[in-house]
Chain A
Amino acid sequence: MISGKLFERIESLRLENVTKKYGENFAVRNLNLEIKGGELLILIGKSGSGKTTVLRMMNRLIEPDSGSISINGIDIRKFDPIRLRRNTGYVIQNIGLLPHLRVSGNIGLIPKLEGWKEEKIQERIQDLLNFVSLPPQVFTDRYPHELSGGQQQRVGLARAMVMSPPLFLMDEPFGALDSLLRAQLQDEFYRIKKELGRTIVFVTHDINEAFRLGDRIAIIDNSELVQVGTPQELIFSPSSNLVAEIVDSKRKYRHIDALKVKDLAQPLDKRYILDSGLSAASVLDHMSAEGLEIALVFDSPENSGRVGLTDVMKAVSSGKSLDEALKPLPLFSPETPLLEALLRLKTGGGSIGLVLENDKPGGILFSDRILQNLV
Chain B
Amino acid sequence: MKGDKLTAWSFNEIFAEIQRVWTSQLLSQRTLEHLYMFAIALFFSFLAGVLIGVLTYRNPRFADPIFNSLNIVETIPDIALLVLLLPVFGIGKTPTIVASILYSILPIARNTYTGLSNVPGEHIEIAEALGLTRREILFKIRFPLSLPLIAGGIRIAVVFTMGVVTLGGLIAAGGLGAALQNGIQLYDMGTILVTGIWIGILAVLLDGAAGLIEHILQVRYGK
| In the complex, chain A residues whose CB is within 8 Å of the CB of B13 | none
| In the complex, chain A residues whose CB is within 8 Å of the CB of B126 | 90, 92, 96, 98
| In the complex, chain B residues whose CB is within 8 Å of the CB of A85 | 128-131
Q: Are A110 and B131 in contact (CB under 8 A)?
A: yes
Looking at chain A, what size class is its interface with the partner chain? Answer: 20 to 34
CB-nearest residue of chain B relative to A100?
B144
Q: Does A140 contact B (CB under 8 A)?
A: no
- For residue B82, give the distance in angstroms from its CB to the closest CB of chain A: 40
- Known A96-B122, A99-B123, A113-B136: A144·B222 in contact at CB below 8 Å: yes
Q: Once bound together, how far apart are the Cα atoms of A85 and B222, in whole Å?
A: 28
- For residue B59, give the distance in angstroms from its CB to the closest CB of chain A: 23
Q: Does A74 contact B (CB under 8 A)?
A: no
Q: Does B85 contact A (CB under 8 A)?
A: no
Interface centre among A56, A86, A109 (most CB of B within 10 A): A109
Q: Once bound together, how far apart are the Cα atoms of A284 and B144, in whole Å?
A: 35
CB-nearest residue of chain B relative to A101?
B144
- For residue A257, give the distance in angstroms from its CB to the closest CB of chain B: 48
| In the complex, chain B residues whose CB is within 8 Å of the CB of A143 | 220-222
Q: Does B58 contact A (CB under 8 A)?
A: no
Q: Does B157 contact A (CB under 8 A)?
A: no
Q: Residue A100 contacts which of B125, B130, B145 (CB distance < 8 angstroms)?
A: B145
Q: Are B125 and A99 in contact (CB under 8 A)?
A: no
Q: Which chain A residues numbered 53 to 106 have a C-beta less than 8 Å away from chain B?
A: 56, 59, 61, 81-86, 88, 90, 92, 94, 96, 98-100
- For residue A92, give the distance in angstroms from its CB to the closest CB of chain B: 6
Q: Does A124 contact B (CB under 8 A)?
A: no
Q: Once bound together, how far apart are the Cα atoms of A88 and B131, in whole Å?
A: 9
Q: Are B221 and A100 in contact (CB under 8 A)?
A: yes
Q: Does B12 contact A (CB under 8 A)?
A: no
Q: Are B127 and A98 in contact (CB under 8 A)?
A: yes
- Known A96-B122, A98-B141, A99-B145: A145·B222 in contact at CB below 8 Å: yes
| In the complex, chain B residues whose CB is within 8 Å of the CB of A2 | 131, 133
Q: Does B140 contact A (CB under 8 A)?
A: yes
Q: Are A96 and B123 in contact (CB under 8 A)?
A: yes
Q: Does B132 contact A (CB under 8 A)?
A: yes
User: How many residues of chain B have a CB within 8 Å of chain A?
Assistant: 20
Q: Once bound together, how far apart are the Cα atoms of A271 and B38, in whole Å?
A: 56
Q: Does A159 contact B (CB under 8 A)?
A: yes
| In the complex, chain B residues whose CB is within 8 Å of the CB of A61 | 125, 128-129
Q: Residue B123 contacts which of A86, A98, A113 (CB distance < 8 angstroms)?
A: A98
| In the complex, chain A residues whose CB is within 8 Å of the CB of B144 | 100
Q: Once bound together, how far apart are the Cα atoms of A73 and B129, in whole Å?
A: 22
| In the complex, chain A residues whose CB is within 8 Å of the CB of B127 | 98
Q: Once bound together, how far apart are the Cα atoms of A143 and B130, in whole Å?
A: 19
Q: Are A96 and B222 in contact (CB under 8 A)?
A: no
Q: Are A82 and B131 in contact (CB under 8 A)?
A: yes
Q: Once bound together, how far apart are the Cα atoms of A2 and B132, in whole Å?
A: 10
- For residue A128, give the distance in angstroms from its CB to the closest CB of chain B: 15
The digit string for B138-179, where 1 denotes a CB below 8 A from any CB of A, is 001100110100000000000000000000000000000000
| In the complex, chain B residues whose CB is within 8 Å of the CB of A113 | 132, 136, 140
Could you list some 14 contacts between A and B, CB below 8 A?
A82-B131, A82-B132, A83-B131, A86-B131, A90-B126, A90-B129, A92-B126, A92-B129, A96-B129, A109-B132, A109-B140, A143-B221, A143-B222, A145-B221
Interface residues of A (CB under 8 A from B): 2, 56, 59, 61, 81-86, 88, 90, 92, 94, 96, 98-100, 109-110, 113, 143-145, 159
A59-B129, A113-B136 given. 15 additional CB < 8 A pairs?
Answer: A2-B131, A82-B131, A82-B132, A86-B130, A90-B130, A96-B122, A96-B126, A99-B123, A100-B144, A100-B147, A100-B220, A113-B132, A143-B220, A143-B222, A145-B221
